[in-house]
Structure 1
Amino acid sequence: MRFFYFYNMKIEDLHKLYLAHGLVDTDTRKIRNNTIFFALKGENFNGNSFAGEAIAKGASYAVIDEEKYATSDKIILVENVLETLQQLANYHRNYLKLPVIALTGSNGKTTTKELINAVLSTKYKTTATIGNLNNHIGVPLTLLSMKRNTEIGIVEMGANHQKEIAFLSEIASPDYGYITNFGSAHLEGFGSLEGVVKGKSELYDFLKKHSKKVFVNPNDEKQVEITNCMDVIYFSKEVKFINANPLIELSYNNQEIKSNLIGKYNFTNIAAAITIGEYFNVSVEEIKNAIESYIPSNNRSQIIKTKSNKIILDAYNANPTSMKAAIESFEALNGEYKTIILGDMFELGEYSSEEHQKIVDLVESKNFDDVILVGENFYKTKTSSKKIKSFQDLSDYLKSNQIEDSTILVKGSRGMALERVVEFC
């Protein structure tokens, strides 16, 4: 005999089961006791077929949407697993009634999110997006990781096409929002820079509709213009840039803060975190300690010293805006032999050739000692710089042409995985 729940299980009933068990997951490899497994589908897998395995590994329940896999009374059959996960996350977020800060933008989302979390967690019990789990699955999982004792939620939202931020905003129902910037990222999906502005501003549209607050950089004229009829909290006037050579130093309320972040472009990310901390009454001393203690990881603005070189590893991702900022920041470093290794930028669609050539032209207008361009797109550009088609070719080149006594900027899109360069430098 088979026992299972049918379509008529209400979200509030599923939420009661969730509260009783406390964990959700979509990957059977991570199953723990008291987990509710959501059997999501992808292009190359069907999570329904793993429901039995999840139960065998200790999951309390498995949520599926194909009846043939409903083989025990621990199986919950729903019409659509993904939609159920999203509905449950929104229900849980409203159940907790805690303040939620949402952030999006073309560049710096994850670093800014980590800085905000570092600052706010000195005073509050926070729950923030882990890594960059910022899509239609990651946002629900972030919301469901928030517990009864969570005091502030911090949700990162990513998007590569219109209406995605609007959809994620409906799920997360944020009380506060921050957009890092509007840049030339995901042009293939958004269609143009204007499309990026429209897509990212869907967060503002939600907040305005629900009379919520936004944090805004007063030096970003476009964002000031878009938010002029909203409830705006501008960056603290007490935050002042000192220098970035290579690590950013700034002052806040007459306190000098020495960060572990490279590049002047990261100053805005720090200023946002300080402003949000100030709004939530975090003390100057706690803000200072949080910023100075934050050490970037995961190939974002990391400084790595090898036997022969100092590497500025910023290879988590890249788009024309972030690439330009990294190059200009690297140029500003004082008196060192400088090598720059750039990898292809992805998701640029019809703009790809133009944007890669612009980066090449920018690099050639500088005075770097050595330039290496890696990838099919950079290989097609017109340049006198060294061009290499693949990472394998790059590794072969570096083995035969070792770089020594140099400061090296490594920047490229995630698909290029240029962090592997460290092994050869």
Structure 2
Amino acid sequence: MIEIAVKYLESVTGAKPWTGNADRICRGVVIDSRGVEEDSIFVAFPGERVDGNAFAPQAIQAGAACVVLTVEPSRELLRLADEHECAVFTCDDPTEFLLRLAQGYRARMRCTVVAVTGSIGKTTTKDVLCALLSTRYRVHATQGNYNSVIGMPLTILAAPRNTEVMVLEMGMDARGQIERLSRCAQPTYSIITKIGTSHIGLLGSRENIARAKAEVCCGMPPSSENFEGHHSALVLSGEDDFTPFIIEHFAKPAGIDVILCGLSGDDDVSATSIEVGEDGRPTFNMMVRNGSQFKTTLAIPGKQSVGNALYAAAVASELGIPQFTIDEVFQSLQITGRRQEVRRAACGARVIDDSYNASPESMAAGLDLLSTLPCSGTRIAVLGEMGELGEEGERFHELVGAYAAAKKPGLAIFVGGENAQAMARSARMMGLGEDAVAVVPSCDKLIARYRTVLSATDLVLVKGSRFVGLDRFVEEVC
């Protein structure tokens, strides 16, 4: 984790000092006073319900070496800080304080940084990449949902000083956020997994989403420069319709080379002859940029997982991971839970737990997997509503309902309010029988009605946005 003397904080972050021992060493950064340990930096965030500034006294008494406020400190607080030899700073924007502090720490570490962004597949891609790189390097990576303008700098600041590669997810819900993250992290390699419809309600169009994701180029050095022993590259999908747009408007102007990954032999990294086995695991022929080819199998289910694996393999290959290691890691992968994780229900049914989140594209991928895996009983799709789709919400839910009908599950259960009704209405219109369609208003109702009706031979997909809470249904039946 970061270690920095109080006297350097002003020059690195621009924060205003009020008091403190200039030579005291700060170790680690927290934004929750309950997480303060000896010598921590506590950064207070004001909020509508909870004002972090009010918890500065607790942070000081818990042993913080520095507290960073957004309000002028009282005399009483300054006296308390002096008693505990705790520095006090103020700043206008605590998020910017974190980003600047993280940028300074990242620059001193001189490690290789890989950024992963995109509408879907970020976490799976990150997990595969970490598994590959960990065979050779000391890797530090994003945990949980720490991929925001607050979470990502905290991830950097928590990195051990001997980290060789950092793999950082970059999320956003507005234009400009990924630019801030990229300028902070200064990635050598960046991956944009897919330009989908997540956040379309906030950004208005897929082109705006593409522009927002492509901001990852802003902090990357040109590929002509030798940056800490490597030459930068942007990894993109060879199939995505916005790839040419990103190349022309972002990668080329920034002088950044592009690596294309996809299902065509013309791509720089490709997968061909994909076959999905009875266990759902895809086997395929893979080719990397150096021209080597080999046959491999992914331990994670579904054809849609292949693309994420290709992105990871592209960067791993650039960082010297050999093909036999890529093959070995692919066959033993374990990814973050609730992302197409096949679990066994108490009754014996197989449950595809994909309840972490949902978008129209990932809904389609989940339904593809449901229809692909072998099943001697009933295929059941439990689909919750999707968030952040804005004015397009009803239309996208109708499209998901239509796609569900095309996959012909034995039972489709739609969970939620008006948008769940929209999915059900579309599924019926596209030919799914009335007895194969059900709508329940909440996860509680779903649990009450369906937790005991599954059979040992059934195959169940559980997929929806987090606010629907379908993970609780999975826990009830498994």
Give the alignment's TM-score, normalised by structure 1.
0.90
Q: Distance in 1 between matches of 2:314 and 2:24?
A: 34
Of 156, 159, 162, 1:146 maps to: 159
Deviates more, 1:223-232 or 1:297-306: 223-232
Q: 1:7 to 1:288 in 2, by over 3 A?
A: closer
* Match for residue 295 of structure 1 among 314, 324, 334: 334
Which has the higher mean CA deviation after the structures are superposed, 232-241 or 170-179? Answer: 232-241
Residue 90 (structure 2) pairs with residue 56 (structure 1):
no
More divergent stretch after superposition (386-395 vs 402-411)? 402-411
Structure 2 counterpart of 1:234, one-letter code? L
Q: Greater CA deviation, 241-250 or 32-41?
A: 241-250
User: Which one of the candidate residues 228, 231, 244 is aligned to 2:276?
Assistant: 244
Pairing 1:115-134 to 2, within 5 Å after superposition:
115-134=128-147
Q: Secondary structure at the match of 1:359?
A: helix
Show CA shifts across 1:342-384 (max 9, x none).
0000111111111111111111122211110001121244134
Aligned counterparts of 1:264 and 1:36: Cα–Cα separation in 2:
45
Deviation at 1:304, TM superposition (A): 0.4
User: What whole-Å deviation, never above 9, does each CA across 1:231-250 have from its counterpart, x for those lacking one?
Assistant: 12334546445323412333
SS at 2:258 equivalent: strand
Counterpart residue number, 2:172:
159
Q: Secondary structure at the match of 2:300?
A: strand
Query: Is 1:77 equivalent to 2:117 in the alignment?
Result: no
1:260 deviation in Å?
2.7
Match of 1:226 among 246, 254, 275: 246
Distance 1:405 1:364 in 2: 21
Q: In the alignment, which of 348, 352, 366 is matched to residue 308 of structure 1?
A: 348
> 1:346 matched to which residue of 2?
387
Query: Do the aligned partners of 2:46 and 2:70 also contact (CA within 8 Å) in 1?
Result: no
Is the contact between residue 339 and residue 371 of structure 1 (CA under 8 Å) also seen in structure 2? yes
CA-CA distance at 1:315 after TM superposition: 0.8
SS class of match (1:387): strand
What do the CA deviations read for 1:73-125 (whole angstroms, capped 9, x no partner)? 30322223332122111111222222211111000001111111111111111
User: Which residues in structure 2 correspond to 1:73-222 (within 5 Å)?
Assistant: 73=82, 74-80=86-92, 81-207=94-220, 212-222=232-242
Any idea what the Cα deviations from partners look like across 1:266-319, whole Å, max 9, x if unmatched?
111111111111111112233233333321233112110123300011110001
3-state DSSP class of the match of 2:407?
coil
1:93–1:143: 8 Å Cα contact kept in structure 2?
yes
Residue 206 (structure 1) shift? 4.7
Contact map agreement 2:111 2:164 (CA 8 A) in 1: yes
- Per-residue deviation, 1:225: 4.8
Identity %, equivalent residues: 29
* SS of residue paired to 1:83: helix
Letter in 2 for 1:216: L
Residue identity in the other structure for 2:413: I
Q: Give the C-alpha shift of residue 55 in structure 1.
A: 2.7
In structure 2, C-alpha distance between the alignment counterparts of 1:93 and 1:416, rounded to whole Å? 37
How far, CA to CA, are the matches of 1:415 and 1:241 in structure 2? Answer: 38
Amino acid at match of 2:234: V
**Is the counterpart of residue 318 in structure 1 residue 327 in structure 2?**
no
Deviation at 1:210, TM superposition (A): 8.1
Change in CA separation of 1:276 and 1:18 when aligned onto 2, cut-off 3 Å: farther
Return the alpha-carbon distance in structure 1 between the equivalents of residues 281 and 321 of structure 2: 24
Closer, same or farther in 2 for the Cα pair 1:31/1:258, shift >3 Å? farther
Identify if the C-alpha distance between structure 1 residues 221 and 313 changes in structure 2 by more than 3 Å, giving closer, same or farther: same
User: Structure 1 191/221 Cα, relative in aligned 2: closer, same or farther at 3 Å?
Assistant: closer
* Superposition RMSD in Å: 2.8
Compared with structure 1, are the counterparts of its residues 232 and 310 closer, same or farther at alpha carbon in structure 2 (3 Å cutoff)? same
Of 199-208 and 406-415, more deviation after overlay is shown by 199-208
Instruction: Name the counterpart of 1:11.
Output: 12
**Contact 2:270–2:310 under 8 Å retained in 1:** no
Q: Is the 1:379–1:388 Cα contact (8 Å) retained in structure 2?
A: no
What letter is aligned with 1:9?
A: E
Q: Do 2:127 and 2:336's aligned partners in 1 also have CA atoms closer than 8 Å?
A: no
Alpha-carbon distance in 2 for matches of 1:198, 1:414: 26
Provide Cα deviations, 1:195-214, integer angstroms capped at 9, x if missing partner: 21221122235547786421
1:279 is matched with which residue?
318
SS at match of 2:140: strand
Contact kept in structure 2, 1:6 and 1:77, CA below 8 Å: no
Whether the aligned pair in 2 keeps the contact of 1:24 and 1:38 (CA below 8 Å) is yes
Residue in structure 2 matching 1:415, options 446, 457, 467: 467
CA distance in 2 between partners of 1:276 and 1:400 (Å): 45
Secondary structure at 2:81's aligned position in 1? coil
Q: Pick which of 234-243 and 317-326 moved more.
A: 234-243
Length, aligned pairs only: 420
For residues 421 and 386 of structure 1, the distance between their equivalents in structure 2, rounded to whole angstroms, comes to: 16
Segments of structure 1 that go 5 or more residues without pairing to the other structure are none
Determine the C-alpha separation between the residues in 1 that align with 2:23 and 2:307. 39
Equivalent residue of 2:331, what SS? helix
State the distance in 1 between where 2:358 and 2:422 align: 18
Query: 1:378 aligned to 2:410?
Result: no
Q: Is the 8 A contact 1:241 1:267 kept in 2?
A: no
**TM-score calculated relative to the size of structure 2:** 0.81
Q: Distance in 2 between matches of 1:153 and 1:358?
A: 38
